[in-house]
């Protein structure tokens, strides 16, 4: 395994499902990250922005159509925005149906799209097979003999050769369909062909980097042992460059009800020894997402010296006035989940959200008829008032769904503490039972409202 002191590529992969950010939102996100870095007095470690939202038609659903003028102009503006922040713009092409690498017109359209992207300012192209069917459909005549891996490799090499023949210096990276060994992936993609990764590795140039999300789709921890397991599944591809596509703090799809604000944890300090690059997939809320996103960049800058508590305090100090730091820390604690990369981060390294544990004890006391902890509900209301009145409008608007439910949680606590009758508490309990089923804050408020 090649020794590396640091990651080579560091930055963002805008690769989430759902609504695509507006240009203003993307600009605000990058400006926020730059503000945190500038406040620390060190150069930004970020050098790459991979633009690959699943909702961008030109990169997926309209892959075979020429790049229209409006999209090309948008990409030009994104290129200039990235330049201002010291980032190279990459774009991700999602080779989803109806694209078929056995069809020569499809390959011709793919090369045309790649060339048009470079003309719009894109300097790197990611070929993405994530979340597509894990096996190739049976065809009467198939030059790849039913092998999905060989069909995908043919598409990649045709695209790369077609673009490189006319444009020099383009960076290339591939996201295999099996971008993790997580068994959960087969629930969406189906069963992969036997030895899919090994076949893909054999058919692609050995120096072509792959994107990998770690041992899970959304990995709680990522270590060099996890990387070794993945490389072994690819036939011992130890020397193929790997870039980590870190699915934290993203909250798309089934995670849309979660708010991942806590700083990143669980990434090994020696990861650059085997992983060449680090790109994080951001929170869907671009203004709030600067807080956890800044911690991802802090880790990527110095994995061995990374401290999630220091990263959290640095982001708070750069973005918010001191009087809001406690309240935002409590918001992160109240909305964290215990099964994600930031699950424990808000309670380590001097960054502590006290309200969840205090409220849990208070609810237990209320249900037993015991005296409750003095001032806990006063503190809860104080924190909520600070968030409601002090948060900048952009952050408050993005946090509104969670703030609304926390206000209702406060009402339930206060009503129970005041001895409210069952006809008042019953509907509130039912609301929180439904809330728990929907998924928001599942490990935090859910157990209190069975």
- Residue 362's Cβ-side half-sphere holds a number of Cα atoms within 13 Å equal to 24
What pLDDT is recorded for position 352? 62
Residue 206 CB contacts under 8 Å (≥ 6 apart), including other chains: 237, 239, 240
What is 183-245 written as a DSSP string?
Answer: TTHHHHH-PPPTTHHHHHHHHS-TTS-EEE--SSSS-S-B-HHHHHHHHHHTTS-TTS-EEEE
Burial (CB count <10 Å: 0-12, 13-18, 19+), residue 384? buried
Q: In whole angstroms, what is the distance from residue 120 CA to residue 76 CA? A: 5
What is 12-26 written as a DSSP string?
Answer: EEE--SSSPPPHHHH
Where in 102-194 does DSSP place strands (E)? Answer: 124-128, 171-175
Determine the 3-state secondary structure of 89 from DSSP.
strand
Q: Residue 285 has what DSSP assignment?
A: S
Q: Residue 272 has what DSSP assignment?
A: G
Extract the tokens encoding 411.
């009402």
What pLDDT is recorded for position 46? 97
Helix or strand run (H / E) with residue 27: helix 23-39
108, 121, 95, 112: which is closest to 174 by C-alpha? 95
Determine the 3-state secondary structure of 300 from DSSP.
helix
Neighbours of 84 (CB within 10 A): 11
What pLDDT is recorded for position 340? 52
Q: In whole angstroms, what is the distance from residue 412 CA to residue 445 CA? A: 12
What pLDDT is recorded for position 448? 38
Extract the tokens encoding 142.
């198939």
What pLDDT is recorded for position 138? 59
Extract the tokens encoding 93.
């092409």
100, 130, 93: which is closest to 115 by C-alpha? 93
What pLDDT is recorded for position 187? 85
Helix pair 422-438, 393-417: axis angle to 10 deg: 140
What pLDDT is recorded for position 437? 44
Q: In whole angstroms, what is the distance from residue 20 CA to residue 12 CA? A: 15
Q: In whole angstroms, what is the distance from residue 63 CA to residue 101 CA? A: 13
What pLDDT is recorded for position 369? 76
Q: In whole angstroms, what is the distance from residue 301 CA to residue 289 CA? A: 18
Helix or strand run (H / E) with residue 49: strand 48-51
What pLDDT is recorded for position 326? 93
Contact yes or no for 166/110 (Cβ under 8 A): no
Q: What string of pLDDT tens digits covers the 450 residues of the chain?
A: 555 579 999 999 999 999 999 999 999 999 999 999 999 988 899 999 999 999 999 999 999 999 999 999 999 999 999 999 999 999 999 999 999 999 999 999 999 999 999 999 999 999 999 999 887 765 655 788 889 999 999 999 999 999 999 999 999 999 999 999 999 998 888 889 999 999 999 999 999 999 999 999 999 999 999 999 999 999 887 889 999 999 999 999 888 888 899 999 999 999 999 999 999 999 999 999 999 999 999 999 999 999 999 999 999 999 999 999 999 999 988 876 544 555 444 444 445 667 877 887 887 787 677 888 889 999 999 999 999 999 999 999 999 988 988 888 888 888 878 877 767 666 666 655 554 444 333 444 443 333
Residue 87 CB contacts under 8 Å (≥ 6 apart), including other chains: 11, 12, 30, 46, 47, 48, 49
Segment 135-188, tens digit of pLDDT: 776 565 578 888 999 999 999 999 999 999 999 999 999 999 999 999 999 888
Contact yes or no for 95/128 (Cβ under 8 A): yes
């Amino acid at each position: 395994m090649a020794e590396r002191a640091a990651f080579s590529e560091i930055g963002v992969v805008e690769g989430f499902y759902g609504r695509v950010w507006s240009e203003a939102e993307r600009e605000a996100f990058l400006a926020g990250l730059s503000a945190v870095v500038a406040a620390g007095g060190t150069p930004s470690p970020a050098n790459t922005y991979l633009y690959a939202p699943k909702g961008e038609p030109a990169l997926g659903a309209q892959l075979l159509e020429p790049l229209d003028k409006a999209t090309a102009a948008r990409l030009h503006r994104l290129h200039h925005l990235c330049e201002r922040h010291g980032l190279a713009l990459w774009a991700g092409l999602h080779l989803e149906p109806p694209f078929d690498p056995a069809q020569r017109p499809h390959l011709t359209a793919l090369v045309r799209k790649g060339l048009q992207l470079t003309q719009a300012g894109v300097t790197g192209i990611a070929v993405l097979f994530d979340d597509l069917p894990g096996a190739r459909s049976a065809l009467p005549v198939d030059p790849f003999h039913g092998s999905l891996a060989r069909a995908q490799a043919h598409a990649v090499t045709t695209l790369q050769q077609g673009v490189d023949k006319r444009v020099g210096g383009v960076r290339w990276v591939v996201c295999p369909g099996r971008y993790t060994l997580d068994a959960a992936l087969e629930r969406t993609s189906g069963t992969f062909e036997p030895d899919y990764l090994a076949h893909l590795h054999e058919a692609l140039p050995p120096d072509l980097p792959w994107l990998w999300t770690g041992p899970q789709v959304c990995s709680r921890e990522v270590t060099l042992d996890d990387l070794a397991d993945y490389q072994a599944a690819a036939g011992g591809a130890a020397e193929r460059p790997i870039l980590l596509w870190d699915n934290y703090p993203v909250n798309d799809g089934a995670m849309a009800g979660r708010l991942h604000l806590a700083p990143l944890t669980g990434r090994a300090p020696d990861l650059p020894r085997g992983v060449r690059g680090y790109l994080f997939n951001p929170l869907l809320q671009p203004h709030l997402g600067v807080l956890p996103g800044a911690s991802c960049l802090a880790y990527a800058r110095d994995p061995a010296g990374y401290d999630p508590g220091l990263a959290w305090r640095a982001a708070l100090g750069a973005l918010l006035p001191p009087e809001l730091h406690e309240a935002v820390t409590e918001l992160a604690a109240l909305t964290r989940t215990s099964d994600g990369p930031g699950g424990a981060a808000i309670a380590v390294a001097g960054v502590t959200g006290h309200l969840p544990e205090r409220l849990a004890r208070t609810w237990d006391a209320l249900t037993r008829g015991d005296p409750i902890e003095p001032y806990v509900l006063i503190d809860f209301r104080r924190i909520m008032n600070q968030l409601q009145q002090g948060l900048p409008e952009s952050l408050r608007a993005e946090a509104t769904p969670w703030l609304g439910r926390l206000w209702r949680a406060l009402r339930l606590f206060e009503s129970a503490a005041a001895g409210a009758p069952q006809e008042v508490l019953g509907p509130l309990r039912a609301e929180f039972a439904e809330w728990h089923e929907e998924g928001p804050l599942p490990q935090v408020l859910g157990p209190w409202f069975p």
